Amino acid sequence: MLELLFTIVLMIASALMILLVLLHKGRGGGLSDMFGGGVSSSLGGSSVAERNLDRLTIGIGVIWFACVIALGLILAY
């Protein structure tokens, strides 16, 4: 039962991580420039929104990491 719970939380956290990483503004010089990410747009938002997005991404990343460790420990025993 606990394994199922952690698996579901891991899948939700994985989907959220993908979404949050894609929402980040491109820094330039990478793949984002190749697909037109070098053009500045007004949709980038303020620095406060970017900082909040960073915090949310780190929080979901910690949840994702904890679920991976917990599933590893559960499946090891």
pLDDT in tens, the chain (77 residues): 999 999 999 999 999 999 999 998 877 655 555 666 555 555 555 689 889 999 999 999 999 999 999 999 999 98
**pTM of structure:** 0.74
Q: What is the pLDDT of residue 68?
A: 97
DSSP string, the chain: -HHHHHHHHHHHHHHHHHHHHHHSPP-SSSHHHHTTTTS--GGG--HHHHHHHHHHHHHHHHHHHHHHHHHHHHHH-
Q: What is the pLDDT of residue 10?
A: 97
